[in-house]
A and B are shown apart, each in its own frame.
Chain A
Amino acid sequence: MVEKGIKIKIRHRDAVRLNFSKILLYAAMIGLACIMALPLVYVLGTAFKPIDELLKFPPVFFVKKPTLSNFSQLFLALDSSTVPFLRYLFNSVLVTALAVLGTIVVATMGGYAMSKLTVPFSKVLFTLVIIAMTFPGNVIQIPLYMIIKWLGLYNTYAALIVPKIAGAYGMFLMKQFCDQLPKPLLEAARIDGAGEFSIYMKIALPFLRPAWATLLVFTFTACWNDGAASLIYISDQSLRLLPVMLTAISENTNLARAGALAAASFIIMAPSLIIFILQQRRVMATMAHSGIK
């Protein structure tokens, strides 16, 4: 009896301690998560604040009376400019879609071949991939500008799309991921008479799905956020991208435009966020297994 009592007591103490450390753990996680996510939540929330809440000091964190007036203000503010908002939106959607599609096709084909087909000088190529990955892009911008002019891409959509497609990161990711694809599977398909291209389409692409979903998320975000390229390679205002418009608004911000700016920030940020949320499981799996961004 006594022994049993002691046992129960120990168990009870253990359980209490366990709960306490669990609570501490959750508190730490939630705290950290809040610090990480709050600025994002703040930016997203700001887009729906009416003007009096926007200008309040100290700033209010959560919106009290949500409104869509900032978005209509954004359209109004841009109505007076020479290039309509929808044109920027169209440019951004087109450029981003083509760049993302191109990157995925080039990277999956290249990575599959580097990993599973015999490519001459593949070691040299892979070294090149690594070097390109460690290079800050700013360093080669002047010659890049020159070659874009020389190729006749200056002031076309192609200047914003083509240079991005042969990215080193995509190639690296796909090659690493493809190394996990079992070779006998490919050989079986080859014996059954499948051509190399149909093996790529029917076996490699579905296998690589998490990897290219990840590449999709990253390339989408990079293109959608990148206004700098369209400032350098494009002189025609009507071919420029959304972030450029955001800069234009933010540069001559007066109080009335604060709402428009918040709405524009929301429009830039929301799509990346949505795509990430949709693909997050695949992104996480890919990042954990093959690699590094």
Chain B
Amino acid sequence: MARSGRYMWREMRRRTLQGKIAWTGLLFVAPWIVGAALFFVYPLARSIILSVSEIENLRTFELNFVGLKWYHEAFFADIEFVPSLLSVSIDNLINLPLINIFALIVALLLNRKIKARGLFRSIFFLPVLLGTGFIMQQLLGQNVNAEAVGFARGLLIPDQLAAYIGQSGVNMIQSFLDRLTIVMWNSGVQILIYLSALQTISPALYEAARVDSASEWESFWLITLPMLAPMIQLNLVYTVIATFSMADNTVLEFIQWLAFETAEANAYEYSCAIGLIYCVFVLLVIGIIVLLTKRFVENAKEGG
């Protein structure tokens, strides 16, 4: 399987048994390759070309090379792009540890011997399924969610208390609750990953620690956390990808608006440029996270 492409190609031309299997393999993957080439690779390449060009004539799609003009404009002329990129990033980076800590806590709770564990697991996973997409945006737009949250708020903040802590206090608690909802609704997958990782840790380790009179608190920091290290890294990366590609963030909305909802000049090219900047930015964030957690993961491997 790990044979080089050139070797495979030679085998395929000679029609050996190896080559025959390779042909079949290629045939099996062919539909996917065609699809990905047409609907991902080609559009991506086209998007890169567009981002350094100016459309001369929209009907014939004549392009003029303009270099990094749109990139320059995004960073130095557009007064909206950089601030909204920053605010989206800050928001997501605040959520990143919160989502992961919450997911880890829930996974730890689920890992105990409790009844109806499967039911709880499914409930925590539901928002992953229904909390995204067009329909949820509609519902959020219709304030259905706000009503439901408001309902919970009514239970949490009684009027007397609200009168006592004042409007700013209520606002603070409300923004906290809003964030809490976002965090909880985005941690379904992470919970499952942590849970399955927890179940692979051998109980013998905990038993040995208990014999050596370690408290549960200590064995969490010295056994559980190091054993989970690779999964924590994976989950952090996954969370970044998931939160940065949620369609309701202002940068992606801006890209969408430029692409389909405005008649401004050069909106297409500009939208492509901004989109690519955004992608590179997300990849950078992922790279930084991997670098920062690398030591932690390697230490954990050596220790374990």
Contact = CB atoms under 8 A, between A and B. Distances in A.
A284 B40 contact: no
Nearest to A170: B32
Interface residues of B, number: 98
B147 A128 contact: no
A120 B25 CA distance: 8
B47 A35 contact: no
B31 interface: yes
Interface string B132-171: 1111101101101101111110100000000000000000
Contact of B25 (A119, A140, A141): A119
Contacts of A134: 241, 282-283, 286
B206 interface: no
A232 B260 contact: yes
Contact of A133 (B241, B255, B260): B241
B136 to A, nearest CB: 8
Given A32-B184, A143-B42, A166-B34, A117 B154 contact: no
Nearest to A33: B123
A284 B118 contact: yes
Interface in B44-73: 44, 46-47, 50, 61
Interface string B252-265: 10011001100000
Contacts, number: 268
Contacts of B192: 284, 287-288
A260 to B, nearest CB: 12
A259 interface: no
Contacts of A79: none
B289 interface: no
A29 to B, nearest CB: 5
Contact of B130 (A140, A168, A221, A281): A221
B21 to A, nearest CB: 6
A112 B28 contact: yes
A141 B256 CA distance: 8
A110 interface: yes
A107 to B, nearest CB: 7
Given A120-B22, A225-B134, A110 B31 contact: yes
B133 A226 contact: yes
B130 to A, nearest CB: 6
Lowest 8 CB-CB distances: which A-B pairs, in order?
A166-B35, A117-B25, A139-B275, A113-B28, A225-B133, A143-B46, A143-B43, A288-B196
Given A120-B12, A135-B40, A143-B50, 20 more contacts: A26-B114, A36-B123, A36-B126, A43-B148, A117-B28, A120-B25, A128-B40, A134-B282, A135-B245, A137-B245, A140-B43, A142-B47, A143-B46, A166-B31, A168-B36, A196-B28, A221-B133, A284-B192, A288-B192, A289-B196
28 contacts: A36-B126, A39-B144, A58-B154, A59-B151, A61-B148, A106-B31, A113-B29, A117-B21, A118-B18, A120-B22, A121-B8, A125-B29, A125-B33, A128-B36, A134-B241, A134-B282, A138-B255, A143-B43, A166-B32, A166-B34, A166-B35, A166-B36, A221-B130, A222-B133, A226-B133, A250-B138, A261-B142, A284-B192
